[in-house]
Amino acid sequence: MSGRQRSHCFCVTINHVEWNKSCLGEFLTSGDLVKRLAIGEEKYSPPLDPDTGMVDDSVAVGRHHHCFIDFIDKYFLVEVQDIINNFLGDELYSIDIQVCKSPKAWLIYLSKEDRSPFLYNVRVSELSLFARCWYHPRTKYRTIRHVDKVDEFICSLGQNARFALGIIEQHIKDPRSQEANRRRVYEPNINCKITRDILGVLNDGINHLYLVGAPGC
C-alpha cells in the first residue's frame, strides 16, 4: 500500500527517545483518536570504540520505541507523521512510519524485549512469548509461593515451558528477597546459658550444629 492511500493501522518506530513510552501512550489515547495501541521499548547497545574495541562509555545507552497504532479513522502516512510530530514538538527524532500489514507479527516484534509494553485495547495473548511469560507471574504469583507444576499457562507452552518457568522463578525470587529484608533481626540473649553454650561452640569453628528436642526445651 502506497503513501497515497489511507489506512487506519500503522507501524511506527521512533529512534533515540528520551521520554517514557507511557507519555506517548497517554497522548494518543487521551481523545477519540485510536482504537488500539501498543508501545514497546527497546534499548540500543553502546557502540564499540574503534581504537580499543571496548564499549564506548562516552555514548549513553539509547532506546527507541516501536508502536502499533490502530486509528479510528483512516489517515495518510504524512498525516500520521504530523500527529506524532505534534507530540514530539520541536525535538528532532528519526521516525519510520509504515502501513501495518500484519498486526499479529508487529505486536510480537515490538514486545520481544519489553516485558511490560504500554497497551490499550490490546490483549496480552497477542504479545511475544517473552512479554506473556513476564505478565503471567504478575497476575498469578503475586504472593510468595511455589510454582504450580500443573500451571495451565506453563503446560500450554510445550517446549517453551522451561523458558517460562525460569522467568516465573525469577519473578518469585524478588518478593522473597524483599520479605527477607523486612524480617526483624534479634541479637542473641547472652543471659541465657544455652545461648552462651551455642555461641561458644560456633566460636570454636564448628560449621554444623544440630539441636535435638521440642521447641522450648
Span 157-198, pLDDT tens digits: 888 888 888 877 777 776 666 666 777 777 777 788 877 777
- How many CB atoms neighbour CB 117 within 10 A? 26
Rounded Cα gap, residues 143 and 175, in angstroms: 7
The residue ranges of every structural domain in the chain are 7-46+58-123, 128-204
Most trustworthy range by pLDDT among 79-83, 202-206, 213-217? 79-83
Q: Roughly what angle, to the nearest 10 degrees, separates helices 129-140 and 161-182?
A: 40
Give the pLDDT mean for 140-167.
Answer: 77
Q: Is the pLDDT of residue 2 over 60?
A: no
| Topology of the domain covering 7-46+58-123 | Replication Protein E1; Chain: A, (3.40.1310)
Nearest to 9 by CA among 95, 117, 105: 105
Nearest to 65 by CA among 93, 99, 31, 33: 93
Span 60-116, pLDDT tens digits: 667 889 999 999 999 999 999 999 988 888 676 788 999 999 999 999 999 998 888
